[in-house]
Amino acid sequence: MSEEKESLNFIEHIIEDDLSSTHGIDDLRFRFPPEPNGYLHIGHASSICLNFGLGLKYDAPVNLRFDDTNPAKEEQEFVDAIKTDIEWLGFKWAEERYASDYFQQLYDWAVQLIKDGKAYVDSQTSIAIAEQKGTPTSPGTNSPFRNRPIEESLELFEQMKNGTAAEGAHVLRAKIDMSSGNMLMRDPVMYRSLHKSHHRTGTDWKIFPMYDWTHGESDYIEQVTHSFCTLEFLPHRELYNWFLDQVYSNDKIRPKQREFARRNLSHTVVSKRKLARLVEEGVVTGWDDPRMPTISGLRRRGYTPASIRNFADSIGVGKRENLIDVSHLEYNIREDLNKKADRVMVVLDPVKLVIDNYPEGETEWLEAENNQEDENAGSRQVPFSKNLFIERNDFKEEANRKYFRLSLGREVRLKNGYIIKGESVVKDAEGNITEIHCTYDPDSKSGSGTEASMRKVKGTLHWVSAEHALPVEVRLYDRLFTEASPDTHKEKDFMEFINPNSLEVITGYAEPSLKELRPEDKVQFQRLGYFVVDKDSTSNSIIFNRTVPLRDSWKKIAED
């Protein structure tokens, strides 16, 4: 147990302050409140990690509450997908709740508000109501129905509820202040009538509560102490509190809403509408395309739950606008996989390498360490023979001092194998290299302990035996957008910044051990990057998705 002084973010400061004044540690309760109208993305992941992380830190319950007040947009399919994603991230909710569980209570409270003269039925069109709302700089005007008799409001509200009134003919509004500086306080709509089937309540209800009327009261019903949301809800806080005042009993916990800045990731977009466009216009293959910033997309890309959680924790939380560079995310997946992923050899851009002094037709099984970062990872056997494949860019006929790879007259080590020396090349009519010939030092076998095997050579190459090679499909993914912040340009549509090279599909040649892998298995292609087996793989054709390349300090030197 270390006693290091940890620094707190502003959310934790709020909780600590409450803990030292008004709240007991056992009072604490949080919630994650998604609307089931789409798939969760990396932004939600941050919020999930924040709320559930707080639950873990304070040993407090965290409810999963679906904010399902709009039957026009919400579906069971999304409920299921959201639950799957949260579980995959590794979090457990205390209780699964739905705002629709509270429709009756909300209705009863609303009736009471009407009776108290604090709410009224407005029978105007939405356009008229919008016009009377005023603007941020000018006050609104009262609805002609604002002072309609309580009995009349009660009766109309009843008709709305029963569906005997036409859909959309009336709304219930809170009677607050049409001249408030806060637009949300200008008699906000509490209920609208919608004659649509709801994914849970079916056709029982013809009226549905609005977000503001629902959210705070739901927090109150669940006795949530801290209701964290993003900054754009800050103006809603006044209304959140006003609604709470109408039902609050002071022997109960009074929830408080506090706001944090949503965390934006560079080189992607995250709004549901924009993500939907990427799917609809065929830029990606679906919501779980490995280039999508959805949780399911990241999962298919090869990201681990731990890497996403560590990412969320490490970027912290604040109140200012931000744009977090994807390199933060990439760092976290590399860090996680570096410890967990077995190293394997796969050649992506092959050129034939012939070892002239190696016996024809012989196969030698070499021992290869699975992961030098993990002592318990064990080892495997890799076939070696006279004819190999190496990467085309691992050879140059002539090279300068900075080039550590194979060239004529120079030596390199074949990983887990022998030291070889470049001897000659064979070219086709166009001058392309079709074959490289080399000789090997039979005493230099890796791990043999001989003096020759201990020799230091500058370069080490990965390789694969040509006759044993397993062809695999490899999908090389890159960032989806060429711009750090594609959707904040005033004049340009985010679609203009799509990276035309975000996916390249090639055939790679893998060492035979890879045929044992299953979907979602993650490996490091030695010297290349981290890859994951895609779910589209079949028993006789394996597909790999590139999660992220290894850092490459050679690339920069080579470009000079």
Active site residues: 35, 262, 272
Q: Is 147 in the site for RNA (CB under 7 A)?
A: no
Please answer whether residues 424 and 357 qualify as being in contact, where contact means their C-beta atoms are separated by less than 8 angstroms: no
Q: Is 249 in the site for RNA (CB under 7 A)?
A: no
Q: Is 538 in the site for RNA (CB under 7 A)?
A: no
Minimum CB–partner distance for residue 523 and RNA (Å): 11
**Which residue number, 323 or 505, has a Cβ lying nearer to RNA?**
323
Identity of the residue numbered 87: E
Show the site string, 255-274: x = touches RNA by CB under 7 A, - = not.
------x-x-----------
CA angle in degrees (0–180, nearest 5) for 462-465-470: 95
**Which residue number, 403 or 509, has a Cβ lying nearer to RNA?**
403
| Residue 307 CB contacts under 8 Å (≥ 6 apart), including other chains | 329, 332, 333, 335, 336, 337
**Which residue number, 389 or 537, has a Cβ lying nearer to RNA?**
389
Binding residue for RNA, selected from 50, 106, 113, 315, defined by CB under 7 A: 315
**Which residue number, 265 or 284, has a Cβ lying nearer to RNA?**
265
One-letter-per-residue 3-state SS of 323-378: CECHHHHHHHHHHHHHHHCEEECEECCEEEEEECCCCCCCCEEEEEECCCCCHHHC
Q: Is 487 in the site for RNA (CB under 7 A)?
A: no
- As to burial, measured by CB atoms within 10 angstroms (0-12 exposed, 13-18 middle, 19+ buried), residue 117 is exposed
φ/ψ of residue 106, rounded to 5:
-60, -40
Q: Is 9 in the site for RNA (CB under 7 A)?
A: yes
Secondary element (H or E) of residue 413: strand 411-414
Binding residue for RNA, selected from 141, 246, 322, 379, defined by CB under 7 A: 322
Binding residue for RNA, selected from 47, 153, 159, 193, defined by CB under 7 A: 193
| Residue 84 CB contacts under 8 Å (≥ 6 apart), including other chains | none
Binding residue for RNA, selected from 257, 268, 304, 524, defined by CB under 7 A: 524
**Which residue number, 447 or 471, has a Cβ lying nearer to RNA?**
447
Report how far residue 399's alpha carbon sits from residue 408's, in angstroms, rounded to the nearest whole number. Answer: 9
Q: Is 175 in the site for RNA (CB under 7 A)?
A: no
Helices (H), ranges, 184-265: 211-222, 236-247
From 111-119, 195-203, 464-472, 551-559, give the range in contact with RNA by CB under 7 A. Answer: 551-559
From 45-53, 135-143, 376-384, 469-477, give the range in contact with RNA by CB under 7 A. Answer: 135-143
From 64-72, 85-93, 353-361, 497-505, give the range in contact with RNA by CB under 7 A. Answer: 64-72
Binding residue for RNA, selected from 118, 133, 352, 421, defined by CB under 7 A: 133
Binding residue for RNA, selected from 373, 423, 483, 487, defined by CB under 7 A: 373
Q: Is 367 in the site for RNA (CB under 7 A)?
A: no
Q: Is 526 in the site for RNA (CB under 7 A)?
A: yes
Q: Is 518 in the site for RNA (CB under 7 A)?
A: no
Q: Is 156 in the site for RNA (CB under 7 A)?
A: no
Show the site string, 385-404: x = touches RNA by CB under 7 A, - = not.
-----------------xxx
432-451 residues in contact with RNA (CB under 7 A) are 445-447
277-306 residues in contact with RNA (CB under 7 A) are none
Three-state DSSP at 28 gives coil
Report how far residue 100's alpha carbon sits from residue 259's, in angstroms, rounded to the nearest whole number. Answer: 24
Three-state DSSP at 388 gives strand
Q: Position of tokens 């470049």?
A: 422
**Which residue number, 289 or 391, has a Cβ lying nearer to RNA?**
391
**437, 438, 420, 417: which is closest to 368 by C-alpha?**
417
Report how far residue 219's alpha carbon sits from residue 210's, in angstroms, rounded to the nearest whole number. Answer: 15
Binding residue for RNA, selected from 10, 57, 104, 434, defined by CB under 7 A: 10
Binding residue for RNA, selected from 49, 210, 275, 523, defined by CB under 7 A: 210
Q: Is 195 in the site for RNA (CB under 7 A)?
A: no
**Residue 324, token pair as written in the block:** 């977090």
Please answer whether residues 498 and 283 qualify as being in contact, where contact means their C-beta atoms are separated by less than 8 angstroms: yes
13-42 residues in contact with RNA (CB under 7 A) are 13, 33, 35
Q: Is 553 in the site for RNA (CB under 7 A)?
A: yes
Rounded-to-5 percentages of helix, strand, coil across the chain: 35, 25, 40
